[in-house]
Amino acid sequence: MVSEGRAPLITLLTDLGTDDIYVGVMKAVMLGVCPGARIVDLCHGIEPQDTQQAAFLLDTAWRYCPEGTVHVIVVDPGVGSERRVLAVEAHNQQFVAPDNGVLTYVLARARDYRAFSVEREDYLLPEVSQTFHGRDILAPVAAHLARGLPTEVVGPELEGELCVLPISRPVISAAGLEAHVVHVDRFGNLVTDLSEADLYTWQQERGSQGFIVRVGDSAIEDISLTYAGAQPGELIALFGSTGQLEIAVNMGSAAECLGVGRGAIVLAEGEA
């Protein structure tokens, strides 16, 4: 699946942080197998063991990578247990990850995919730790794939269902269109599960011209185009780079201002 004439691209998405050697050692392993690889750090600040956050952030990133990219996801609270390590072909890319739901959105958006259980010891490090499969299994396997190893060589193809997490979706209620915060970024912006298309469809179906966005006791009447579309400290609603509705504060943190986080309800109320 490697694109001809271009150095292989491997991405890393982990909860390992950058204070320890874990990420650096994984890179060293991958470069030892595939010296010509380019390695992109998508994020190492996933909250520890937060597979839901990892799944969401991976979904916002993979589509911007070229065909043939190999993605490595190490958010692995079940490391050393009976959980499987997967090598998945989807979207003309490859994903190496534990079978714990971190590929939920990738699989949901795929028209078709092939999944393999990583079992061939030839492509692992000679000694496999029970606590660091990122270094000993996922990193070397990803590097071999980046070199052009066919995915089916790493182990048997899986026919059954893979582990997936619940996907949050907006709900129409008597009060309006109920969205949910699915991610809080480092700026304190509240990213919801409501897309602009879903909001437009809901407005058309109810025949409303406008709407008010409510978060707790706070109400926002207009949709801004940018974060700077309000006075400093003012609460705003806008469609961010993910295409989903966000609640933000210009030069501030909506999460701190409102005292809410992931799972909070954001309600769109229609106006006649």
**Is the pLDDT assigned to residue 116 strictly greater than 80?**
yes
Q: Which residue, 71, 89, 68, is CA-closest to 6?
A: 68
Contact 189, 247 (CB under 8 A): yes
The answer to whether the CB of 203 falls within 8 A of the CB of 190 is no
Count of other CB atoms within 10 angstroms of residue 68? 18
- pLDDT top residue among 36 and 5: 36
Six-digit token string for 9: 């691209």
Residues making up the chain, counted from first to last? 272
Decide: residue 42, CB within 10 A, 0-12 exposed, 13-18 middle, 19+ buried. buried
pLDDT over 80 (residue 30): yes
More confident residue, 222 or 52: 52
User: What is the average pLDDT score of the chain?
Assistant: 94
**Residue scoring higher pLDDT (1 or 183):** 183
The answer, yes or no, to whether residue 3 has pLDDT greater than 70, is: no
Domains located in the chain, CATH noted: 9-154 (3.40.50.10790), 171-271 (2.40.30.90)
In angstroms, the CA 239 to CA 247 distance is 9
CA distance 189 to 181: 10
To which residue do tokens 């650096």 refer?
24
Name residue 252's beta-bridge partners: 249
Percent of the chain with pLDDT over 90: 88
Report pLDDT digits (tens) over 173-222.
888 999 999 999 999 999 999 999 999 899 888 777 778 999 989 999 98
Handedness of CA 81, 87, 90, 93 (dihedral sign): positive
Give Cα 160 to chain centroid, integer Å: 23
Query: Would you state the pLDDT for residue 206?
Result: 79
In Å, how far from its chain's centre is CA 120? 27
Residue 103 pLDDT more than 90?
A: yes
Grade residue 1 by pLDDT with cuts at 50, 70 and 90.
Answer: low
Token representation of residue 100: 């714990």
Question: Residue 86: what pLDDT?
Answer: 98
Q: Are strands 190-195 and 244-249 parallel, antiparallel or unpaired?
A: antiparallel
What is the predicted pLDDT for the residue at 266?
A: 97
pLDDT tens per residue, range 54-96: 999 999 999 999 999 999 999 999 999 999 999 999 999 999 9
What burial letters (b/e) apply to 187-223, b meaning 16+ CB within 10 Å? ebbbbbbbbeebbeebbeeeeeeebebbbeeeebeeb
- What confidence category does residue 6 fall into, taking pLDDT thresholds of 50, 70 and 90? confident
The answer to whether residue 2 scores a pLDDT higher than 60 is no
d(CA 61, CA 146): 18
- How far is residue 256 CA from its own chain's centroid? 23
Give the model's confidence band at 42: pLDDT under 50 very low, under 70 low, under 90 confident, else very high.
very high
Cα 215–chain centre separation: 24
Q: Kindly state the helix (H) or strand (E) to which residue 255 belongs, with its residue range.
A: helix 254-258
pLDDT in tens, 133-168: 999 999 999 999 999 999 999 999 999 899 999 999
Residue type, 220: I
* Cα–Cα distance, 165 to 147 (Å, whole number): 31
The backbone region for 161, taken as left when phi is positive above 0, alpha when psi lies in -120 to 50, beta otherwise, is beta
Task: Give yes or no for residue 20 having a pLDDT over 90.
Answer: yes
